[in-house]
Amino acid sequence: MFGLGMPELLVILVIALLVFGAGRLPEIGSSLGRAIKGFKEASEKREPEPPEPKEAKAEVKPAAGKTCPDCGKTAQPDAAFCPGCGKKLS
């Protein structure tokens, strides 16, 4: 537990008792517990993502690829050679 043994934990508890007093320690412990519980719940809960604007949803049409005149395969628009036969595209 973080390299702390029982003697170290007892020293920390005694110092906390002296600093805060016996009446205040339960309040501090409960508020610390609530804070940890709230943090865990917030980290587990995911908020729904906001909807995307209509402009971002518009489908982007792919650019028409080049067609090889010899074998008829379609290549990417920026391709210099046919992926099927390897001949140079015009």
Q: Are residues 39 and 67 in the same domain?
A: no
Asked whether residue 87 is assigned to any structural domain, the reply reads yes
Is 34 domain-assigned? Answer: yes
pTM: predicted TM-score of the whole model, two decimal places: 0.39
For residues 39 and 12, membership in a common domain is answered with yes
- Cβ-contact 9, 16 below 8 angstroms: no
How deeply is 83 buried, as exposed, middle or buried, from its count of CB atoms within 10 A (0-12, 13-18, 19+)? middle
Indicate whether 26 belongs to any domain: yes
**Alpha carbon separation from 11 to 15, 16, 26, 70 (Å, rounded):** 6, 9, 18, 86
Task: Give the tens place of pLDDT for each residue, 27-71.
Answer: 988 999 999 999 998 888 777 777 777 665 555 555 567 888 888
Q: Which domain holds residue 35?
A: 6-44
How many separate domains does the chain show?
2
Question: Residue 73 domain-assigned?
Answer: yes
Query: Could you tell me if residue 1 is inside a domain?
Result: no
